[in-house]
Structure 1
Amino acid sequence: LYWVVSISLVFINKWLLSNSDILLDAPLFITWFQCLVTVILCIILSKVSSAIPDKLSFPNLDFKWQTIMPLSCVFFTMVVFNNLCLKYLDVAFYFVARSLTTVFNVVLTYLILHKKTCCKAIACCGVIIAGYITSVLQENGLGTLSLSGLFYGLSASFSVSLFSIFISKKLPNVDGSVWRLTFYNNLNTSVLFIWLNSQLGVFISYLGFFFWSMMLISGIFGFAISYVTTWQIQVTSPLTHNISGTAKAAVQTIIATILTLHFKSILWWLGNLMVVAGSIAYAYVRHKLRVVVEKDDSSAER
């Protein structure tokens, strides 16, 4: 389910952001609309849950948006750069373009949390970086590399890492509820988009039914990805989820190359394979370290 929702969302967003049949260039509006749909769906589910709590469990929501505004600003940059990266790069290269998230996470964990990372994890990051450089050079050699897309990919990776570090600090402010956090982030981001977005007027007269249907579907899928991500972690484990996400990205890359008929070189695929292998190895190393720490803590309590 996670794979279906996630891959579908990427391809829908790519169609909305880059389709030549849509003579509009407004990626910020598209991102704003998706955040707005998530806000509306959260409110609806909260109301329904209050009416039938025995059949649907969803937290009550209020509008204390100031609670996590700093985190929402990071979330804002994350969703903007993600979609801009997807706009300027092929879906096949989208995963690699954002693959330095793990590397940034190690760096920011040291700079912000003052926590060091073990040598094995750093070695995994080295494999990811080598794969990233290989893929970038090959993409450039094929003439399909966008420097703007590459910049947005790096910015998205940095924002995702920063968000993952700050999120643990802000969860207590929403009573540990992922859904409240999702609601606040999308609500605040929607407001920020209205303030910054000069593209809103462009869409007032653009009433194509198919376009708006795709916009609505993308918003629903954007909301659904929050649910299925949480669900997958709950029914499996964070390690399984990380490996599943990396494997999903690899399958997404293969599907994209088949659909677009953009055949890549052996070195291009080797670079992708290195990124996938490094990411999975890093997730495994972090998991093993977490298990060791938990065992040490339980032993100390005894």
Structure 2
Amino acid sequence: MQQMTDTKMEGPSVRRLAFAITAYCVTSLAVVYFNWWLFTSGFKYPVFISWLQQVIGFGIFLGGSTVALYFQRIRPVFPPPVFHKSVLAQVAPLSASFCLTIAASNLCLQKVQISTYQVARSLTLLFVLLLSYIILKQSQTPLVLAACVLMVAGFVINSLDPGTLSLYGVLFGALSSFFQALYNVLIKFTLPAVENNNQMLLFYNVLLSSFLFVPVVFVSEGMEPFWQSINAAEHSMFVVWGGILVSGLLGTSLNMSQYLLINCTTPLSFNIVGLIKAIVQSLGGIIFLGDKVSAESLLGIGLSTVGSAIYVKAKHDQAGVTARDSENDVADSVVVLETEEDAMKSNRVVASAVTPDIIVKETTEDLATPSTVFDVKV
């Protein structure tokens, strides 16, 4: 019986984990590179496209939920659409911050190079720490604060080089970092409204975002993207709507692959994957797109990357301390067990108490990765 219990606690299979990591990295990189091309040389209305991404995503969820009524195996991915006004009201602030994050992120992506995009958005950790302290009264370890200082220094140094990071790129990057930090903090308060069901939260978020994005489009871009998408010349109609459709499908795939990865790993592992992906993304911009490289940009990228690595190390140390404390708490409460059944029950309690996935996911600061959780940056 003990062997069966241990096997059950091992977590996802290696094959599933490898698929989740690969799917997340591929879709995340594809979204960034494709959107950058679309915003800079194709259809230059990033907020309008961001809105259509949510509309396409909502349509995919409705279609998937309909199919899930007949194929129960996909219900965890596409839960039945249930609408509760009280839940909509509780999710609305989260969706509003989500919309503003994506809008500012895509505007930032339009104004910067791929290689410096991560640096432009590296203030997320700073804002998360500030909001966590102000709202949740959470303090941080010196190592986390050191990581934050390095990432802010990378942002400031890179901002001094107008050749690689424009003023608008800096402003939109800072705005997206703030709204993403707010989004990350709000997740902790919003998940209980959907009974901690990640997929249901994603469904409500996509639904609300499909409507909340409309005023953001009008304020930032007016009616021009609507007219241009309708009146595009015949030869460019395929490029415009084909690009919009591909961008929407990639965005939805990214959200789904991210939730799959979050469910397969701990936040610490997610941070590591995000860090590696960010490095590959920056190198790809330099190698394949010929991004300009200066001493300031290289130093900024280096400081942000080192800061991200230190943050991951700090989270690793914190997770280890939390796990040991939880294990000691359980050990202190162990009583003399008189039957084999009681012994098996106790083993299950101890195993669940020291599972990093259960322990770490309850902390809000782990929701904020240096690259970003939920990858709302694209």
1:166 aligned onto 2:186: yes
Corresponding residue number in structure 2 for 1:7: 29
For the residues of structure 2 that align with 1:52 and 1:220, how far apart are their CA atoms?
22
TM-superposed deviation, 1:267: 4.2
Amino acid at match of 2:210: S
For the residues of structure 2 that align with 1:63 and 1:202, how far apart are their CA atoms?
34
SS across alignment from 2:73:
coil
1:47 aligned onto 2:66: yes
For the residues of structure 1 that align with 2:74 and 2:57, how far apart are their CA atoms?
21
TM-superposed deviation, 1:235: 2.9
Following superposition of structure 1 onto structure 2, how do residues 30-109 of structure 1 map, counting pairs within 5 Å? 30-54=49-73, 56-57=75-76, 58-64=78-84, 65-109=88-132
For the residues of structure 1 that align with 2:187 and 2:82, how far apart are their CA atoms?
19
Corresponding residue number in structure 2 for 1:188: 208
**Greater Cα radius of gyration, structure 1 or 2:** 2
Unpaired runs of 5+ residues, structure 2, are: 1-21, 334-378
8 Å CA contact 2:120, 2:165 repeated in 1: no
Corresponding residue number in structure 1 for 2:346: none
User: Deviations along 1:167-203, whole A, 9 cap, x unmatched?
Assistant: 0110111121212211222221211223443333432
Corresponding residue number in structure 2 for 1:248: 277
8 Å CA contact 1:34, 1:218 repeated in 2: yes
1:204 is matched with which residue: 227, 230, 238?
A: 230
For the residues of structure 1 that align with 2:260 and 2:63, how far apart are their CA atoms?
20
Cα distance change of structure 1 residues 235 and 121 upon mapping to structure 2, 3 Å threshold: same
SS across alignment from 2:288:
helix
Amino acid at match of 1:210: V
Amino acid at match of 1:47: T
Corresponding residue number in structure 1 for 2:375: none
8 Å CA contact 1:131, 1:273 repeated in 2: yes
TM-score of the pair, normalised by structure 1: 0.91
TM-score of the pair, normalised by structure 2: 0.74
For the residues of structure 2 that align with 1:293 and 1:144, how far apart are their CA atoms?
41
Cα distance change of structure 1 residues 167 and 133 upon mapping to structure 2, 3 Å threshold: same
SS across alignment from 1:260:
coil
For the residues of structure 2 that align with 1:177 and 1:109, how far apart are their CA atoms?
23
8 Å CA contact 1:91, 1:256 repeated in 2: yes
8 Å CA contact 2:39, 2:46 repeated in 1: yes
8 Å CA contact 1:247, 1:276 repeated in 2: no
8 Å CA contact 2:191, 2:201 repeated in 1: yes
Number of residue pairs the alignment of both structures matches: 296
TM-superposed deviation, 1:146: 1.6
Unpaired runs of 5+ residues, structure 1, are: none
Amino acid at match of 1:168: K
TM-superposed deviation, 1:129: 1.7
1:114 is matched with which residue: 137, 150, 153?
A: 137
TM-superposed deviation, 1:97: 0.2
Amino acid at match of 2:27: V
8 Å CA contact 1:102, 1:279 repeated in 2: no
For the residues of structure 2 that align with 1:267 and 1:193, how far apart are their CA atoms?
36
TM-superposed deviation, 1:6: 0.5
For the residues of structure 1 that align with 2:73 and 2:128, how far apart are their CA atoms?
40
1:17 aligned onto 2:39: yes
Amino acid at match of 1:11: Y
Corresponding residue number in structure 2 for 1:222: 251
User: Deviations along 1:87-137, whole A, 9 cap, x unmatched?
Assistant: 111112111000111121111110110110011111111111222222222
Identity across matched positions, percent: 31
